[in-house]
Amino acid sequence: MNLSRRSLLGGAVALSISTLASLGEAETMATQGQDTRPIPTPAPRVARFEKLAFGMFVHWGLYSQLGRGEWAMNMHQIPAAKYKELIKTFTAKDFRGRALAKMAKKAGMKYITLTSRHHEGFSLYDTRGLSTFDVMHSPAKRDLIADFTEGCRAEGIIPMLYHTTLDWTEPRFENDFPAYLQYLRDSIEILCTHYGEIGGLWFDGNWSKPNADWQEDKLYAVIRKHQPEAMIINNTGIGQEGRLGNPEIDSVTFERGRPHHLNRHGHPKYVTGEMCHTMNFHWGVASQDFNYLSPAHIIEELSFARRAGANLLMNVGPTATGKIPDYEAAAFARVGDWVRLHGGEKGVLYQGRPTDISGEGEDFALEMNGDLYLFITDLTATSNTMAHGVTHRGAGARHFTGVTQAFKEAQWLDNNEPLKVDYDSSAKKLTLHATGYPYGTNTVVRVARLKA
């Protein structure tokens, strides 16, 4: 992953691809509505992925033993030979794939993307002779990707795999790039052929060599041959959010950036979006970083991702031994409570679709089964949207434009309280009279259902 919006490896780099294009040409649904070109039908795998809505990102590797983030080797200039000594103390004694899956399930997450190999070059899977820098040559001596995939399936969670495309410890990356790319393809073939059905492959690192020929067609052909229904995602990094290149890509990425609506009119393929976000300013565990996101902040990011029809991939960094940190487990569980309060996996967070309707401020609308769901923000001054420059509005009239039909019945999802609705057909304007929270209640983002 890139480090931050100010990282030297962040905004200045771009994914090296031959047909780089933006799906963000029109950032509002209203603008899209003026485009008469057809929108392609999503492939079944993409349609399924969009309804997963919420996933867990897991960054775990040798760097976790240092507790200084996943970029520790690079940022602290640790020589490769010295860094590789960490393999001797990697026990993974507390790692259980099923425990991760249970945590994700409790949070309302439907899939997990685990780092099978990060930029340090260490693999959590048996590389079957490709390298000695893998988990089978550590004290753990067990294939952790096998543990992970089996644990996910036992809990009904879809396993997905992150895999770096750059490598700080493999000499061929700098000295013989074509040979390195063959090593990368051989590595991906192992992942595609030894762990059952994989929900997707999530790549990261092409931005490290923006002018190189990464031979993406050959890499993605390996996946399509062995895992034809797997999502293919290649992270474009900070500063390149929503950018698309190779035709095999199924989802664009928004690293730490709120997704915008994608203009799919006239494109040859329907591509979706996913925002990856982390709990603090590191992706791997960092023992001296106390700047964590709150459950309220996660609820907002999930809501705003769904506003654009994108998924939220929320990260956790296990400890050196693979234990799930207490804070993240508790925060994710609290978000799960909010998800269940709004219908769970059959609710609007998963099944709702973006609309052409525009709300005020951060307010927005989703549609599901003909009903309209209005997401109301800033009912209290404690909402995290205050940090984004939105003035606290509180209870009262909330206006939505672009509404093409009248709705007479409305109620809050959290307590079924009926709400007054006005509709101006000539202006296609709907007004919801939002009431405040009852004492002892604050759902951060409050959702009203308007029945068709």
In this structure, are 136 and 258 located in the same domain?
A: yes
Nearest to 23 by CA among 351, 308, 238, 354: 308
Q: Tens digit of pLDDT for each residue in 192-245?
A: 999 999 999 999 999 999 999 999 999 999 999 999 999 999 998 777 777 788
Per-residue model confidence (pLDDT) at position 240: 73
In a domain, 247, yes or no: yes
pLDDT exceeding 90 applies to what percent of the chain? 83
**CATH code: domain of residue 319:** 3.20.20.80
In this structure, are 294 and 398 located in the same domain?
A: no
Nearest to 376 by CA among 285, 290, 271, 299: 299
Task: Show which of 350, 367, 397 is a domain's final residue.
Answer: 350
In a domain, 12, yes or no: no
Q: Tens digit of pLDDT for each residue in 111-147?
A: 999 999 999 999 999 999 999 999 999 999 999 999 9
In this structure, are 360 and 229 located in the same domain?
A: no
pLDDT above 50 for 26: no
Domain of residue 226 covers: 21-350
In this structure, are 413 and 323 located in the same domain?
A: no
Q: Tens digit of pLDDT for each residue in 391-432?
A: 668 999 999 999 999 998 999 999 999 999 999 999 999 999
In this structure, are 53 and 149 located in the same domain?
A: yes
In a domain, 2, yes or no: no
Per-residue model confidence (pLDDT) at position 31: 43
Confidence of residue 452 (pLDDT cuts 50, 70, 90): confident
Q: Tens digit of pLDDT for each residue in 68-77?
A: 999 999 999 9
Assess contact for 128 and 190: CB atoms under 8 A.
yes
In this structure, are 338 and 360 located in the same domain?
A: no
Query: Could you tell me the two tokens for 295?
Result: 């459950």
In a domain, 4, yes or no: no
Per-residue model confidence (pLDDT) at position 391: 60
In this structure, are 305 and 368 located in the same domain?
A: no
What average pLDDT does the structure give for the chain?
Answer: 91
Confidence of residue 381 (pLDDT cuts 50, 70, 90): low
- Provide the number of structural domains found in the chain: 2
pLDDT above 90 for 385: no
Q: In what order do the strands lie in the sheet with 371-376?
A: 353-354, 364-368, 371-376, 446-451, 409-412, 418-424, 429-434, 396-401, 358-359
Say how far apart CA 157 and CA 343 lie, in whole Å: 18
pTM of the model: 0.91
Task: Show which of 350, 373, 390 is a domain's final residue.
Answer: 350
In this structure, are 364 and 337 located in the same domain?
A: no
In this structure, are 132 and 231 located in the same domain?
A: yes
In a domain, 138, yes or no: yes
Assess contact for 210 and 14: CB atoms under 8 A.
yes
Task: Show which of 285, 319, 350 is a domain's final residue.
Answer: 350
**CATH code: domain of residue 394:** 2.60.40.1180
Question: Which whole number is the average pLDDT over 81-98?
Answer: 98
Kindly list the distances between the CA atom of residue 321 and the CA atoms of 86, 176, 359, in Å, as whole numbers in the listed order. Answer: 12, 34, 46
> Which residue is associated with the tokens 């074509």?
178
| DSSP letters spanning 136-161 | GGSTT-S-HHHHHHHHHHHTTPEEEE
